[in-house]
């Protein structure tokens, strides 16, 4: 399988004000050496706690932020050094779906006007042709063409998210980055949106990078799972393997934290404490202060991301010896 | 089906109409506009000197009395309304356009552009604006157009700050990120996507600014460096009335009332707009 998108050792830090008298600043490494591969036609679920750098990754891929170092390859093209003009033709090939459907649509534009923008920017279609395109987009995401005359505030959250999906689909991209597309929605609406994403993938052969903190959603939708902790990928694995037999203690902890309808099951070995501040990351393995399996090497040396099985990589010193519990 | 845009406007209108003070303000302004528009129909020649009818008190013939040259005070107020309302609109129009342009640049691009532009705004704000206007006018011919331009060019800083603040917060919003990731040009993002969302506070400040501009023009004319006689303006009518305040009160009272009503009207309307446009007060 050919990778459609490949991230290698990606770094991005943000400057945060702080220090005495506000003159000094410190760097917050939001993304600290991320490597990921995403195959064409597949769905990669990127999971992790809030603040671990998931959204920063999506902005880096979309070119909304510039990485400090590392490479982003899309097909055969290196994206990290492109300027705005070189980016333009690529815009139609990757698009983004946002988390909050209340913030991602311009409140002063009708839905027709919002969906018209991609065509106005990238195509030379005349007004009638664009109108037809917009109408067919609305139908594709399960809305009616006359909905286009309305303003975003007249729609429910689920309908708004459909509009956001329609905008992302407009230019027929290959890659769609969905940044927590359902976490702002009611549970019943979540299922509808996930099914919509599923059927659109089938229809258009889309590749998804699906960012989420909800492992049950990821299990349903994704082919691959990547787990992120404090700006780093700690494990990437095919979805069945991940859920059956995770290889990183943090993955295990996430899976154990899922609610299961089984009163006899006892929770075991949940991580202790809070996520450390990324301003002051622990030495060695970033997870060691909370890891129930940590030994002395974990405190001193950061583990490398190693392939332990086909398509299964993990960054843990003890991945070979631990027998971690998944869910089946 | 009524278009949603019309519905939004109708809603805004209902909110203003429900606010009694704002309605009062709107009526005050409207009556001044009617007076200015109908001046040639309802008023006599404001420059017609009649020495036989000097300093007549208000009567059936001269509703608001006559001045020291026998000119009709009502006619002069009606024609003066044209000047004052024009000054308010043009000066604030200039200030708003300049303020939006400067604020949008600073807020959208941020970084060193923002630093340089906003420090310049700070410097401009250091000057007491009335004395800045006085100083500039000392070098220029005191014509009505110069007055408007100068009032406009010394009043844009507040608008710039407002617009910058709006842009700073709006440019990080998801819908702007979405349009950026579609590859829209900066011009398109600024004009089509951010600016329409940043205009509400500007509208309010413009309504209040018009009141300020009218006051400034009156003050300049009162000092004799604004609108020059014989062109009637509320400010230069006050100066004539000043000498006869004890004997002919109507000379300064009525122009003063005209200024009061107009300025109060714009202030009330501005406050009403602020309440109507404030998203926190929306149900």
CA angle A180, A222, A31 (to 5 degrees): 50
Strand, coil or helix: what is A26?
strand
Q: How far is B218 from B143, CA to CA, in rounded Å?
A: 13
Residues whose CB is less than 8 angstroms from the CB of residue B278 and which lie 6 or more positions away in sequence, other chains included? none
| The two structure tokens encoding residue B110 | 């941020």
- Per DSSP, helices labelled H in A123-214 are 127-140, 157-169, 187-204
Q: Which residue of A has its CA nearest to B198?
A: A108
CATH superfamily name and code, B18-33+63-277: MetI-like (1.10.3720.10)
| The two structure tokens encoding residue A310 | 């086909």
Q: Is the pLDDT confidence value at A148 over 60? A: yes
CB contact under 8 A, B181 and A107: no
Residues whose CB is less than 8 angstroms from the CB of residue A290 and which lie 6 or more positions away in sequence, other chains included? A271, A272, A273, A275
* B171 in A contact zone (CB under 8 Å): no
Q: Which residue's entry shows tokens 């927590």?
A: A180
The Cα-based distances of B5 to A149, A151, A191, B14, B276 in angstroms read 10, 8, 33, 14, 16
Strand, coil or helix: what is B65?
coil
CB contact under 8 A, A122 and B182: yes
pLDDT per residue of chain B (283 residues) written in tens, 0 to 9: 455 566 667 777 777 777 888 889 999 999 999 999 888 888 778 877 777 877 777 877 777 878 878 788 898 999 989 988 999 999 999 999 999 999 999 999 988 999 999 999 999 988 888 888 888 888 888 788 888 999 999 889 999 999 999 999 999 899 999 999 998 899 999 999 999 889 888 988 998 888 888 889 888 888 888 888 888 888 888 888 888 888 888 888 999 999 999 999 999 998 888 888 765 554 3
Please give the model's pTM, rounded to 2 decimal places.
0.82
Residues whose CB is less than 8 angstroms from the CB of residue A312 and which lie 6 or more positions away in sequence, other chains included? A235, A236, A237, A238, A241, A247
* B196 in A contact zone (CB under 8 Å): yes
**Positive or negative CA dihedral for B77, B81, B83, B87?**
positive
Q: How far is A170 from A166, CA to CA, in rounded Å?
A: 6
- Per DSSP, helices labelled H in chain B are 4-18, 20-37, 39-42, 73-109, 111-126, 129-139, 144-153, 157-170, 174-181, 186-188, 195-222, 234-242, 250-277
User: Which of B9, B169, B174, B203 has the highest number of chain A CBs within 10 A, making it the mutation to test binding with A?
Assistant: B174
Task: Return the percent helix, strand and coil in chain A, to nearest 5.
Answer: 35, 25, 40
B166: phi then psi, degrees, rounded to nearest 5? -60, -45
Q: Where are the domains of chain B?
A: 18-33+63-277
| The two structure tokens encoding residue B142 | 């005191």
CB contact under 8 A, B183 and A91: yes
* B199 in A contact zone (CB under 8 Å): no
For A37, half-sphere exposure in the C-beta direction (CA atoms, 13 angstrom radius) is 12
Minimum-distance CB partner of B175 among A62, A105, A121: A105
């Amino acid at each position: 399988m050919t990778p459609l998108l490949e991230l290698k050792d990606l770094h991005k830090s943000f400057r945060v004000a702080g220090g005495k008298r506000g003159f000094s600043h410190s760097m917050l490494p939001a993304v600290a050496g991320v490597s990921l591969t995403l195959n064409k036609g597949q769905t990669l679920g990127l999971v992790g706690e809030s603040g671990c750098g998931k959204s920063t990754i999506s902005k880096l891929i979309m070119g909304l932020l510039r990485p400090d170092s590392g490479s982003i390859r899309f097909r055969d093209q290196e994206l990290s050094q492109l300027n705005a003009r070189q980016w333009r033709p690529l815009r139609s090939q990757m698009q983004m779906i946002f988390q909050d459907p209340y913030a991602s649509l311009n409140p002063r534009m009708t839905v027709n006007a919002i969906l018209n923008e991609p065509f106005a920017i990238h195509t030379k279609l005349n007004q009638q042709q664009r109108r037809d395109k917009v109408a067919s987009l609305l139908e594709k995401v399960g809305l009616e063409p006359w909905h286009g005359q309305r303003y975003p505030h007249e729609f429910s959250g689920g309908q708004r998210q459909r509009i956001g999906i329609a905008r992302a689909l407009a230019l027929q991209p290959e890659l769609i980055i969905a940044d927590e597309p359902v976490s702002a929605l009611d549970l019943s609406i979540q299922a509808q949106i996930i099914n919509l994403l599923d059927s659109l993938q089938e229809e258009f052969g889309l590749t998804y990078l699906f960012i989420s903190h909800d492992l049950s959603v990821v299990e349903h939708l994704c082919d691959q799972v990547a787990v992120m902790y404090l700006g780093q990928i700690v494990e990437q694995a095919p979805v069945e393997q991940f859920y059956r037999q995770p290889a990183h203690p943090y993955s295990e902890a996430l899976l154990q934290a899922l609610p299961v309808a089984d009163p006899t099951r006892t929770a075991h070995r949940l991580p202790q404490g809070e996520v450390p501040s990324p301003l002051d990351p622990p030495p060695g393995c970033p997870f060691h202060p909370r890891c129930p399996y940590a030994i002395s090497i974990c405190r001193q040396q950061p583990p490398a991301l190693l392939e332990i099985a086909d398509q299964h990589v993990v960054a843990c010193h003890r991945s070979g010896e631990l027998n971690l519990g998944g869910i089946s | 089906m009524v278009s949603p845009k019309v519905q939004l406007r109708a809603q805004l209108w209902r909110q203003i109409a429900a606010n009694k003070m704002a309605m009062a303000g709107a009526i005050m302004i409207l009556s001044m506009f009617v007076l200015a528009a109908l001046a040639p129909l309802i008023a006599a020649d404001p420059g017609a000197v009649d020495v036989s009818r000097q300093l007549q008190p208000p009567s059936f013939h001269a509703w608001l009395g006559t001045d020291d040259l026998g000119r009709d005070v009502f006619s002069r107020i009606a024609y003066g309304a044209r000047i004052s309302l024009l000054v308010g609109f043009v000066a604030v129009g200039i200030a708003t356009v300049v303020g939006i342009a400067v604020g949008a640049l600073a807020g959208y691009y941020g970084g060193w552009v923002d630093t340089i532009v906003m420090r310049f705004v700070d410097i401009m704000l250091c000057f007491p604006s009335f004395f800045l206007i006085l100083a500039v006018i000392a070098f220029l011919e005191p014509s009505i157009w110069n007055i408007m331009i100068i009032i406009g060019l010394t009043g844009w800083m507040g608008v710039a700050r407002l617009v910058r603040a709006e842009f700073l917060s709006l440019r990080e919003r998801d819908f702007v990120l979405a349009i950026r990731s579609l590859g829209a040009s900066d011009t398109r993002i600024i004009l089509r996507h951010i600016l329409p969302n940043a205009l509400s506070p500007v509208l309010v400040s413009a309504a209040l600014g018009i009141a300020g501009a009218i006051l400034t023009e009156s003050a300049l004319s009162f000092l004799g460096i604004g609108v020059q006689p014989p062109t009637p303006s509320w400010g230069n009518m006050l100066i004539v009335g000043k000498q006869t305040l004890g004997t002919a009160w109507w000379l300064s009272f009525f122009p003063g009332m005209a200024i009061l009503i107009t300025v109060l009207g714009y202030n009330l309307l501005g406050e009403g707009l602020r309440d109507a446009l404030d998203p926190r007060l929306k149900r």
